[in-house]
Amino acid sequence: MELLEENILIVDDDINILELVQRHLQSLNYHTYKAVSVKQALAILKDTAIDLLLTDIQMPDVDGLELIKYVSEHYPHIPKLVITGFPSVAGALNVIKSGASDYLTKPFTKEELKVAVKKSLENVKPLKLAAPKTSHQNLNIEMIGNSAAFSKVKDIINRVKDNKASILVLGESGTGKELVSRAIHYSGKFSNQPFIAVNCAAIPENLLEAELFGYTKGAFTGANENRNGFFQAAHKGTLFLDEIGNASLAVQAKLLRALQEKEITKVGSQKVEKIDARIIAATNENLTTLIEQKKFREDLYYRLTVVEILVPPLRERKEDIKLLVTKFLKKYGIEYKDRLLNISQNALAILERYNWPGNIRELENVIQHAVIMSDGIIDVENLPNNLKFQINFPESSLKSLAEIEKEYIQRVLSSTNNNKTKAAEILQIDRKTLREKLK
């Protein structure tokens, strides 16, 4: 007798079909696991090395197609064989599109099952892989994207790059607001002048004024010398104020004067200094709400929004994901010393489907991790589980004690390979009682 090598998981809510298929497969020297629901199947998959999934389609709560989609992304190496009692051309196409390798129509013979299982196990082939190509050169500040949503941003950048009008860049966290600001600076005629980036949220409120405008010796404890601020450092160039909504009202008042009069005063000084810097501010907060709450000055808001740029979230520009992935593959391939990897079409499809709440920053982190953890190719198994297909189980309704008892007995029988003596021991009842309950 041959050794039992392949582990086959059988999923069907019909216990009679489960046992029939199990007997056939065991007689063919396969090791089997049984599940009467998708939820049970996922529990088995989590703790057991499965070589083939054999599942019904029509099941209560969650159907087999959902299970196939889940397994295709979380366990891509496992082939999927479907058994169904509802054959049709449309149904067959739907099954194959969901990721199944083949399907069997009920009723089927032991020989048909044998052939289908053997075929599914033998036809596990590597995924066809492909890597997108791009001609982009400057990966640090170049605006990557051809979507309509991002094309609007690039159009505004081209219009403002050669003047010093104040700009407010809005967008969710991780959308690339600083990258947009750098593109404005470095693509225009002031690119040879300094670009100074300041995160207003990262500097303590009591120090932000001094850091922005500078201070004189003795202005406060620790001020041991005269020092210029970020405004002076950005002379002739661009001062980028990120998270502007975090600036205190006192700092906002000084910013308003700087924008209106083009002059500043250092902390501890009475001397007015002229400034020549373009101001680009950015925030992921709703400034109009902060204005209503008296936390942001309305007059400063209008001074900052001579030009307003709304950077779209990644979920609104999914056409650009392929280009962004290519950019990050090249970036980290170079950074980690000649690890220039490709990505499979299946993995790329998952990236393009996901909604990216963390936007481009989240996408970059995923690619960086994948480059580190992959060998030669980035595939589905190299992606985080939260990106992959998820099954949302309906809330369980309250069940009778008899229904719960029935489900548990079936679970114990399944775990003991239908050994009623062993199942009775686990249930702490005699075989006669077990037989009665099975009726």
The answer as to whether 345 is a domain residue is yes
pLDDT at 351: 96
Q: Considering only CA atoms, give the Rg of the chain.
A: 32
305 and 168 part of one domain? yes
In terms of Cα–Cα distance, which of 149, 104, 70 is closest to 387?
Answer: 70
Q: By the 8 A CB rule, do 231 and 277 touch?
A: yes
Same domain, 246 and 183: yes
56 and 190 both lie in a single domain: no
CA-wise closest residue to 98 among 72, 129, 126: 72
Q: Can you give the CATH number for the domain in which 207 is found?
A: 3.40.50.300
Number of residues in the chain: 439
Cα distances (Å, whole numbers) of residue 415 to 32, 91, 356, 411, 412:
10, 32, 40, 6, 5
Give tens-digit pLDDT for 69-123. Answer: 898 888 888 998 888 775 554 555 566 666 777 778 878 889 989 998 988 888 7
Report d(CA 6, CA 30) in Å as an integer: 6
Nearest Cα residue to 367 out of 413, 402, 333? 333
Helix H or strand E encompassing 257: helix 249-261
Residues of the chain under the 70 pLDDT cut:
1-5, 86-98, 124-142, 395-397
Angle in degrees, 0-180, between the axes of helices 321-335 and 345-353, rounded to the nearest 10? 120
Q: What is the DSSP-derived secondary structure letter of residue 318?
A: G
pLDDT (0 to 100) of residue 124? 62
**What CATH number is associated with residue 332?**
1.10.8.60
Determine contact, residues 91/118, Cβ cutoff 8 Å: no
State the pLDDT at residue 91: 56
Tokens linked to 93: 């196409």
CA distances, 68 to each of 96, 172, 411 (Å):
10, 34, 22
Same domain, 230 and 175: yes
Tokens of 350: 């998952």
| Distance (Å, whole) CA 79 – CA 75 | 9
Alpha-carbon gap, residue 433 to 402, rounded angstroms? 14
pLDDT of residue 87: 58
Would you state the pLDDT for residue 88?
Answer: 55
Pairing mode of beta strands 7-11, 52-56: parallel
Structure tokens given for 266: 């250092």
- Which amino acid makes up residue 301? Y
Whether residue 430 is contained in a domain is answered as yes
Domain count, the chain: 4
State whether residue 33 is helix, strand or coil. Answer: strand
Is residue 142 in a domain?
A: no
Distance CA 101, CA 123 (A): 8
Cβ–Cβ under 8 Å, residues 310 and 170: yes
Q: What is the pLDDT of residue 142?
A: 65
Domain holding 242, by residue range, is 148-311
| Residue 392 covered by a domain | no
Does residue 134 form part of some domain? no
**pLDDT the model gives residue 100:** 78
8 A C-beta contact, residue 378 and residue 344? yes
* Shared domain check, 325 and 303: no
pLDDT value at position 138? 42
Phi, psi of 43 (to 5 degrees): -65, -40
